Amino acid sequence: MDSVPLPPLGDMPGADLEEAKTNATYYGQDMNFMIWHGEDDTISPLDITEATYAGAFEALGVTDTLRVNVTQPGQSHTTVEPDITRMVEFIR
C-alpha cells in the first residue's frame, strides 16, 4: 500500500520508454494495479496521484495494468472496512 508513487516510479512520468525501462526492476502486462482514492484526500491529492501513476504507466507502456481505479466521494486520507475488503479480494 502506498499513497503516492515512490521513486523510481514517481520519477517516470514524462520519461522516454528506454529511460523508464532502465529504472524499472520489472514491468509487464501481467502486473495488476489497484488505485483507491478518497476524493477529499489532502495528503495524497487525487489529481497528483492520478497524473503520476498515469505518467509512469504510459512511460513503461503498461497502461492496461491498472485493473481497479476507484475514487470514494467525500472520503479523505482514510481507509474503511469496504476498502480493505475490496483490496483483499483484488489481491486474492
In the chain, where the domains are located: 9-23+32-91
CA distance 10 to 60: 12
Cβ atoms of residues 38 and 78 within 8 Å: yes
pLDDT for res 2: 57
What's this model's pTM, rounded to 2 decimal places?
0.74
pLDDT digit string (tens) for 39-90?
999 998 999 888 888 888 888 889 999 999 999 999 999 888 888 898 899 9
**Averaged pLDDT, 13-28:** 81
